[in-house]
């Protein structure tokens, strides 16, 4: 009996070690808790983030142990990537936003238009069927297909009577990055220097790759499997993140 218990404990330890290795070096699941990335990421989306995309820092590991202060096997992110990072305020909280400014870039919003290095980002007004939320409020929005200088495109939404029509100039420091939420008037991001601001390269956790599960919590929670027929957003399962 004692031998069997020891074998079971060993099996659990091995499984835990393997899980930590996979989570730290390859893929980690994340849950979307807010509407800041609508319409591209919805509350209730569960996604995989690749940990190897930008190399490894202490934030690649559970609890961000202070074991080293560099990034190893570093690869620079590209403009437009959707990235999970640790907020500079506490180096603990996970945020997910779109990368909109590289080191040295100048970012500004003027009259509702986004400028990178004094060049207006090309955008095309489109119609979308999605209801866009900010908390429980349904927003009256304009939706645009925005195309970045590297040709990457995505959908961003703005309040018709937005609160961020104009901003100061943001100059991204060396080895830092500037992030925005796609739901531009419902996102705490790099525009808010006291709470998020510029994000160190070290703080990048990984690149959002794939939505593997999605459920509308207004129709049932993840653990209420008997409601999955109503709550699961089938069209979002196993979709790539742009």
| pLDDT level of residue 163 (50, 70, 90 thresholds) | confident
Distance CA 140, CA 153 (A): 22
Q: Work out whether strand 176-180 and strand 82-86 pair parallel, antiparallel, or are unpaired.
A: unpaired
Helix, strand, or coil (residue 6): helix
Minimum mean pLDDT range among 52-66, 85-99, 113-127, 195-209: 52-66
pLDDT tens for 33-53 read 999 999 999 999 999 999 999
Q: What is the reported pLDDT for 63?
A: 79
Pinpoint the alpha helices (H) of the chain. 2-25, 228-231
pTM for the complete prediction?
A: 0.90
From 34, 57, 60, 97, active-site residue: 97
Q: Is 97 a catalytic residue?
A: yes
pLDDT tens for 71-116 read 888 899 999 999 999 999 899 999 999 999 999 999 999 988 999 9
Q: Is 60 a catalytic residue?
A: no
User: In the chain, what are the domain boundaries?
Assistant: 2-240
Distance CA 109, CA 217 (A): 34
From 34, 36, 60, 187, active-site residue: 36
Question: How much is the mean pLDDT over the chain?
Answer: 90
Answer yes or no: CATH 2.20.25.650 is held by domain 2-240: no
Q: For residues 205-238, b (16+ Cβ closer than 10 Å) or e, as one string?
A: bbbbeebebbbbeeebebeeeeeeeebbbeebee
Percent of the chain with pLDDT over 70: 90
Q: What is the reported pLDDT for 196?
A: 95
């Amino acid at each position: 009996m004692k031998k069997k218990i020891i074998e079971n404990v060993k099996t659990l330890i091995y499984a835990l070690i393997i899980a930590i290795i996979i989570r730290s070096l390859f893929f980690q699941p994340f849950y979307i808790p807010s509407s800041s990335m609508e319409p591209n990421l919805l509350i209730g989306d569960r996604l995989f983030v690749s940990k190897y995309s930008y190399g490894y820092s202490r934030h690649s590991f559970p609890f961000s142990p202070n074991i080293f202060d560099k990034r190893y096997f570093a690869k620079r992110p590209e403009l437009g990537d959707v990235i999970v990072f640790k907020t500079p305020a506490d180096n603990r909280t996970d945020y997910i936003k779109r990368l909109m400014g590289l080191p040295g870039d100048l970012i500004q919003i003027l009259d509702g238009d986004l400028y990178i290095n004094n060049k207006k980002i090309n955008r095309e007004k489109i119609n979308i069927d999605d209801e866009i939320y900010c908390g429980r409020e349904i927003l009256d929005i304009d939706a645009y297909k925005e195309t970045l200088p590297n040709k990457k495109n995505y959908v961003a939404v703005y309040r018709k009577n937005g609160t961020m029509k104009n901003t100061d100039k943001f100059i991204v420091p060396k080895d830092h990055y500037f992030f925005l939420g796609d739901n531009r008037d419902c996102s705490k991001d790099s525009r808010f220097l006291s709470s998020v601001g510029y994000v160190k390269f070290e703080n990048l956790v990984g690149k959002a790759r794939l939505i593997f599960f999605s459920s509308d919590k207004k129709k049932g929670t993840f653990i209420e499997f008997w409601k999955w027929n109503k709550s699961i957003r089938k069209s979002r399962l196993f979709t790539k993140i742009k």
